[in-house]
């Protein structure tokens, strides 16, 4: 996004023809992959990757490309599944973010920090991402790998008004704001 006059300028890079169609009239839409589309260098104030980084076969190359298109001092805002999250540990093999081959690379805080630093970014904030969700949805999602327990918990949730009770919960993802503050990307160390 880049500020032009009094309103922000919005761009989207999207592979899906349906998504491109849905975005028409909502800004500049570039159809293709981040590697394929032409974007102006040193142009954007913010690049947002919401549940996106885990889909890149080479997230390092994607972050280097994003670094190119950010203006000096620009920020990347990203949300990506966290393999160290409580939800990942509870759900184990049934974890909602284990979506291979859709999710090709998964991160935990240390690996995300390392790849961001290697590509020239400095993390400004890192928090657990979350959302408001209904109690019945939470019970079914968290206990999806335990059918008997899930059935009992869903019955209890229904008695408590589970479709109407909403709670803020961690989604099992990391939310990061990082700036392209490093002078140049660091190369990975040999160790």
Grouping H, G, I as helix, E, B as strand and the rest as coil, residue 191 is coil
Quick: pLDDT tens for 118-128.
Answer: 999 999 999 99
Burial environment of residue 1 by CB neighbours within 10 A (0 to 12, 13 to 18, 19 or more)? middle
Query: Does residue 6 carry a pLDDT above 70?
Result: no
Query: Does residue 152 carry a pLDDT above 80?
Result: yes
Q: Pick from 66, 46, 50, 68: which is nearest to 58 by CA? A: 66
Query: Does residue 21 carry a pLDDT above 80?
Result: yes
- Mean pLDDT is lowest, of 2-6, 16-20, 105-109, for 2-6
Quick: pLDDT tens for 33-56.
Answer: 999 999 999 999 999 999 999 999
- Mean pLDDT is lowest, of 55-59, 82-86, 162-166, 176-180, for 162-166
The three-point CA angle 77-83-32 to 5° equals 45
Based on its alpha-carbon atoms, the radius of gyration of the chain, rounded to whole angstroms, reads 19
Confidence class for position 83, pLDDT limits 50, 70, 90: very high
Phi, psi dihedrals of residue 124, rounded to the nearest 5°: -95, -45
Q: What's the chain's length in residues?
A: 191
| Average pLDDT value for the chain | 88
Query: Does residue 186 carry a pLDDT above 80?
Result: no
Query: Does residue 130 carry a pLDDT above 60?
Result: yes
Cβ–Cβ < 8 Å for 82, 88: yes
Burial environment of residue 66 by CB neighbours within 10 A (0 to 12, 13 to 18, 19 or more)? buried
């Amino acid at each position: 996004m880049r500020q032009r006059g009094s309103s922000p300028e919005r761009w989207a890079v999207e592979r899906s023809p349906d998504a491109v169609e849905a975005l028409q009239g909502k800004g500049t839409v570039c159809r293709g992959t981040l590697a394929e589309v032409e974007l102006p260098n040193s142009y954007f104030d913010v690049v947002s990757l919401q549940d996106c980084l885990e889909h890149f076969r080479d997230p390092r190359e994607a972050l280097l490309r994003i670094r190119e298109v950010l203006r000096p001092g620009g920020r990347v805002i990203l949300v990506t599944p966290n393999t160290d999250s409580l939800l990942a540990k509870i759900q184990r093999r049934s974890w909602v973010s284990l979506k291979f081959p859709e999710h090709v690379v998964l991160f935990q805080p240390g690996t995300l920090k390392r790849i961001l630093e290697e590509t020239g970014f400095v993390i400004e904030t890192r928090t657990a991402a979350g959302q408001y969700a209904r109690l019945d949805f939470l019970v079914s999602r968290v206990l999806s790998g335990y059918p008997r327990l899930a059935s009992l918990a869903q019955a209890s949730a229904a008695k408590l008004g589970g479709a109407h009770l909403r709670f803020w919960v961690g989604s099992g993802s990391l939310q990061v704001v990082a700036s392209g503050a490093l002078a140049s990307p660091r190369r990975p160390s040999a160790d």
